[in-house]
Amino acid sequence: MDDDDLLDWIERLPLRHSHDPELLEIVRSARHFFVRQEAAKRLENADQLKEHFDDRHLGQILARRLSRTEDAAYLEQLVRTSRHLEVRKAAEAQLGRLAETAQPANAANGDTGRRC
């Protein structure tokens, strides 16, 4: 398929699909970065992008998809080790979102964040 046909196929994938192997093949290919990014965005299992943490285009997608509190350590590692500013910034932004999400949850559990 050419890039336009491939993008059309990617865009038509439902939210739940069984095409991660095909999408990973596109992500790992030498195709234009935009096609690779679109394939990365549609992966159901974002952890599969971790092998591409130091790719400027895919690292940003990876950082944005890590949304669980247990992902915070990995995001902190990206901030410290990535050689691409875009990846570091995306990881920092995602860490900020995780912190904002954690604060209301902690308050609901009676934790005000203040220590005596």
Show pLDDT as tens, one digit a residue, over the chain (116 residues).
899 999 999 999 998 999 999 999 999 999 999 999 999 999 999 889 989 888 988 988 988 888 887 789 999 999 999 999 999 999 999 999 998 887 765 555 555 554 44
Could you tell me the two tokens for 26? 């596109």
34 contacts: CB under 8 Å, gap ≥ 6: 7
Proportion of the chain in helix, strand, coil states, percent, rounded to 5? 70, 0, 30
pTM, to two decimals: 0.72
List the chain domain ranges: 1-44, 56-110
Q: Which residue has the tokens 């046909």?
A: 5
Q: How far apart are CA 15 and CA 7, in angstroms?
A: 15
